[in-house]
Structure 1
Amino acid sequence: MKLIILDRDGVINFDSDAFIKSPDEWTPIPGSLQAIARLNQAGYRVVVATNQSGIGRKLFDMATLNAIHHKMHTAAQQVGATIDAVFFCPHMADDSCDCRKPKPGLLQEIARRYDISLKGVHSVGDSLRDLQSGFVMGCIPHLVLTGKGHKTQEKGGLPPGTQVYPDLASMVDKLLGATIADINIAI
């Protein structure tokens, strides 16, 4: 099975320092949903692993998170994309849970649920904690510069072998072997 793990905020949709607290605040980054569709067409199952401490902070409830994810799934389907599953941590940083990235609990759950090793699976995020949680599970780390990506790159300390891209669409282009020349020829 070909699997890829994406962070949500800052990778698929625009991020906000004030959190994404409602479906109205969820806006896809241009090209991100189409990139997911291309992954699907290439045989990838796409899963999302996301910290959602807004629940623990009581900024929104589970019904609202479900509505946000319903909007994301619907928007993806409208461009021919499928997000197979969303794994999330509802806890705050000081809750000492095992599922909040950079801890690997969310990714361990993905591995259990799909009954696979994550060694060699591509993991895409915009923050160091996204990359760290995947790296300890053997994932290939990819940093996108959308969301918090520029700040993450500037701070340094990226896991060895981290590849950096302007956005999810360019990461998928590289992964699938497409180049600008190939895309222009296809048009």
Structure 2
Amino acid sequence: MMRAWKLLGQLAAYYAAIALLSWAALTLFPTLSDHLPIGTAQKLISQNPGGEGANHFKDIAARAAASHVNTLSESILWMLSAVFAALLTALPVSWVYMAIRSHDEYDQSLISNILILPITVTSIVVVVQNSLALAFSLGGIAGAVRFKNSLKSSGDALFILLSVGIGLACGIGAAELAFVMSL
């Protein structure tokens, strides 16, 4: 029980520090939010649910794109911040995994996957965004790869799924959604 309270305190301190640093950066530099992977969740949630057909999906993809990226340096900043947000969000997920398993139970390779998978998925989403052909190509490549690791429990699969979700959220520019998912 004491271990759970300690973890809860560490997670609360971590999220408070991230929130405080984010608030300070956005207060000191108000235009910074235009160049960071944040705000897409609000755009997706507030969209018109009555849209139909291909135009509706194009509109969703346009809203999810990095809308204020005009130069190479802005593109690099956006991508680095998306990857950094994915890593910052995956760290507490790995801490929770290690805390709920005994040292003998948890798999070190799964912890590595929990940390690296969101970064990889973020990068892939940025590459595939708005391209159906690239998405199908990626599906074919993933289908051809033979995975050697099998998960020990269904709980491990949930951590992998959460890592993929974090990567997807950061890749579409909704880092705030990724942070909420990791709570």
TM-score > 0.5, shorter chain as reference: no
Q: Which has the larger radius of gyration?
A: 2
Greater RCO structure (CA 8 Å; 6+ sep) = 2
> When you count helix as a share of all residues, which structure comes out higher?
2
Report the TM-score when normalising by structure 1.
0.29
> When you count strand as a share of all residues, which structure comes out higher?
1
